[in-house]
Amino acid sequence: MSDESITAALITDKLIASGLDVSDAQSATLTEYVSLLEQWGRVYNLIARCTHEELIERHLLESLALGPLLHGRRVADVGTGAGLPGIPLAITEPTREFTLIESRAKRVRFLRHVIGVLDLGNTQVQHSRAEDLPTLPPFDTVLARAVAPPAELLQIMRPLTAPGSVLLLLTSAQLSGELIDLATDFLVRPTASAPRLRSSIVALERVAS
């Protein structure tokens, strides 16, 4: 990335161009998050090196595209890494409660720092692998970028859901069909309202125990 900082105006313009509307306050908070991501990323290797435009399009736009597809109040982000997609969604969806699940200690430290700096009272971090979490009530929505092969990913995420829960997965076009074929206890939900993205969105609603 160049030394020039990403501005709130640039983020707002990119989001509007993609049909994603945020308030001025939310745009400012997203900008502060990106700044933290850049500062800590140099030491913690949080995301791959990219231009400002790529960072916004690859990370913020893909995260926020899931917003209209969220279901219910309680949302889990499995293998959140640098807080994607969970933190951008927590900024723009303040009435929902977000649980960020991450096993790597350095990234957990970054996430807790971000939550404190941005005053995200609707967000908490679970320092754990998703499959090793203590028993929790099922989540209304469970998010993940492609953190594992389809069969393994479904096995990890399924215990966090109950009938009526929704899985939202950002994955490659090649793997989206495989995910759908394997999810025999889920019903595919439409994602037509999502903007054009590099990744494919798969939305699945749990219909069987």
Rounded to two decimals, what is the model's pTM? 0.92
Looking at the structure, give the CATH architecture of the domain made up of residues 60-206.
3-Layer(aba) Sandwich (3.40)
| CA neighbor of 40 nearest in space, from 123, 136, 106, 118 | 106
Round the CA-based radius of gyration of the chain to a whole number and report it: 16
Give the model confidence (pLDDT) of 99-112 as tens digits: 999 999 999 999 99
Q: What does the pLDDT profile of the chain (209 residues) look like in tens digits?
A: 444 567 888 888 888 888 888 899 999 999 999 989 888 877 777 877 777 777 888 889 999 999 999 999 999 999 999 999 999 999 999 999 999 999 999 999 999 999 999 999 999 999 999 989 887 899 999 999 877 788 898 999 999 999 999 999 998 878 888 888 999 999 999 886 656 677 889 999 999 87
* pLDDT digit string, tens, across residues 39-51: 887 777 787 777 7
Buried b (16+ CB within 10 A) or exposed e, 113-133: ebbeebebebbebbeeebeee
Per-residue pLDDT at 193: 60
